[in-house]
Structure 1
Amino acid sequence: MKTLSKKDIKQLNERIGREVFSKKDLLQEECGRYYRNKELVFFTLPQGRLAPSLKFLLKDLYLPKVTVDMGAVKFVVGGADIMRPGVTACDEGVMQGDLVVVVDETHGKPLAVGEALMGSEELLAATSGKVVKNLHYVGDDLWNA
């Protein structure tokens, strides 16, 4: 694993689009995965975009939320894409292609990180179909990294 310099940390914050890490943080990178104190915090998607890990989101829930009913939970944590019938709410302002965190309606806990397949207005108006592509979920390889 490569330990990131202060300059690398600054560039990482710029890629994320917000000040997530301080220059005092001990960050390491390996194969497009970024670790703080040996815990996965961000990973690189195939198109080069960075996404936060669910363990990071447990501490800093900054992504827009898509809320699912409890009947959808087992499918989401099994890796399924999020289907419109299971969605109970969506934060305003979500645009197609945005990263979102999928949470359960009872506890509000992060279940998955996904990519919105449509904007929030279109998503809420839809009655069927896939609305979020599941990129990382509780129990997957990234969760266990």
Structure 2
Amino acid sequence: MPPGRRYRLRKDEIKQLAQEAGQRFGEAIASVIGGDVEILKRDDGASLIISGEKTIFFQRDGELFPTLRIVDLIKVKRVIIDMGAVPHVANGADVMSPGIVSADPDIKKGDIVAVVDERHGKTIALGLALVDAKEMKAPRGKAVKNIHHVGDQIWRALEKG
């Protein structure tokens, strides 16, 4: 695990976390949050939320995000990108509109979205929608801000946990 301060949550804090996660990502997420939950406050400002030795969420600037480990288990809207965009997004680049093959039609600006490759259907990144779904397949511009991707520091923490 990366350096930082690690502590256990009290039962009332776990309940509050489960409620927040349930409101944001659907009630099914409650089954992912176990009875023993810890927070690892990292030096880079992010906090990893660990349940049963698995990093399930991270917090950045007070906002809760799922990790790539659980993003496929919960209801997160999807943006599908072409294979030419995959290496760039997997290296941390934002998703550009020309690389988008399709997007869930109910995506709104500010939504958390899973970025999925078109060939394998694997989630390679998690991002924030910068535009509504109908504007995503434009000929130019950024559509999704990359906040967590395969190979980043959070991903490396997932491999260890």
- What TM-score does the superposition give when structure 2 sets the normalisation length? 0.82
**Displacement of 1:89 after TM fit?**
0.5
Paired position in structure 2 for 1:116:
129
Structure 1: gaps of 5 or more residues: none
Paired position in structure 2 for 1:99:
112
Query: 1:24 and 1:140, CA in 2 relative to 1: closer, same or farther beyond 3 A?
Result: closer
Paired position in structure 1 for 2:44:
none
Paired position in structure 1 for 2:49:
34
- Counterpart of 1:131, as a letter, is A
**Displacement of 1:3 after TM fit?**
1.9
Query: 1:82 and 1:28, CA in 2 relative to 1: closer, same or farther beyond 3 A?
Result: same
Q: C-alpha offsets along residues 54-77 of structure 1, whole Å, 9 cap, x if unaligned?
A: 01224x142100000111110011
TM alignment of 1:76-87, pairs within 5 A: 76-87=89-100
Confirm or deny: 8 A CA contact 1:103 1:112 kept in the other structure. yes
- Counterpart of 1:41, as a letter, is I
CA distance in 2, matches of 1:106, 1:13: 34
Q: 1:21 aligns with which of 30, 48, 51?
A: 30
- Counterpart of 2:49, as a letter, is Y
| 2:13 match: secondary structure | helix
- Counterpart of 1:84, as a letter, is S
CA distance in 1, matches of 2:129, 2:34: 33
Query: What fraction of aligned residue pairs are identical, expressed as a percent?
Result: 39
Q: Between Structure 1 and Structure 2, how many residues are aligned?
A: 142
In the TM superposition, structure 1's runs of 4+ consecutive aligned residues that sit over 4 Å from their partners are: none
